[in-house]
Chain A
Amino acid sequence: MDLFIDLLTGLCFFLGSLCIIIGACGLIKLPDVFSRIHAAGMIDTGGTAFFILGMIIQSGWSLITVKLLLIGIFIFFTSPVTSHVTANLAREKGIVPVGKKIGKLL
């Protein structure tokens, strides 16, 4: 049973690391600010979600599980706000996104 739990944790950490590595590659190679935010969003959601899930599996049922869940919830509610602020500031400063524009923008 212990081995099974360790394997499951390892799998979660592997998937989380994969998300973070691909997101980091995206941060370097995507063309402009707005596209790069998508890669950062991948790190924010996929990376943290898998890592916290792995730690929850490892910790078993205790107060620590609840605290980890709370960390997850707070990141879940705050990370889109920072993404939106970055994107909104870039737009307000007059940076026009690369690529197709459909219809009239705000």
Chain B
Amino acid sequence: MKPLILFVILVCLWLLMSGHYTFLIISLGVLSCAFCVYLANRAKLIDDEGLPLFFLPRLLGYLMWLFKEILISNLNTAKAIISNNIKPETFTVKASQITDVAKVTYANSITLTPGTVTTKIKNNTFEVHALNTDFGNDVRSNEMDKKVKLLEGER
């Protein structure tokens, strides 16, 4: 089932990227997509980690929230740089997610919002570097952790 879904996604991507809709081009595209799926299947890449479909139903809402957060922290980082309010701090937080994909999503979301960077990961503990105390408090409030936990859903 999963290889078929990957194949459909790849063909859609090909159609959107190419823009040439003649028989020859499309058939070449379908052939190369099939070859890619065959290789990925042979390398056993198509599992929950390679194709995290369980994210899909709630992904859009999470991305909207993440964009809002990125906009706000961009503003705050700009303010901190201009007003020289820089007191770097390093601390550790616990991640409550179970699957590796969700943990990576959480770590990437922390890094993506300016002002906080994940510097090390060990099992369930992330080491986070923050530009000043406000950014640190944002991560320590665990709001993002809960959102990613919701995104992961019941396991």
* Interfacial residues, chain A to chain B (CB-CB below 8 A): 18-19, 22-23, 25-26, 29-32, 34-35, 37-39, 41-42, 45-46, 49, 63, 66-67, 70, 76-77, 79-81, 83-84, 87-88, 90-91, 97-106
Whether B34 is near chain A, meaning CB under 8 Å from some CB there, is: no
Of the A-B pairs whose beta carbons lie under 8 Å apart in the complex, a sample of 13, sorted by A's number, is A18-B78, A26-B77, A35-B129, A35-B131, A38-B115, A38-B117, A38-B131, A87-B111, A97-B88, A100-B88, A102-B90, A102-B92, A106-B122
**When the two chains form their complex, are residues B74 and A19 in contact, meaning their CB atoms are under 8 A apart?**
yes
Point out the residue from A26, A34, A46, A63 that lies within 8 Å of B119, measured CB to CB. A34
Q: Select from chain B the residue with minimum beta-carbon distance to A98.
A: B88
Q: How many A-B residue pairs have CB under 8 A?
A: 127
Whether B26 is near chain A, meaning CB under 8 Å from some CB there, is: no
**When the two chains form their complex, are residues A29 and B81 in contact, meaning their CB atoms are under 8 A apart?**
yes
Q: How many residues of B are in contact with the other chain, CB < 8 A?
A: 38
Contacts of A101 in B (CB 8 A): 89-91
Would A19 and B88 be within 8 Å (CB), given that A38-B117, A70-B16 are in contact? no
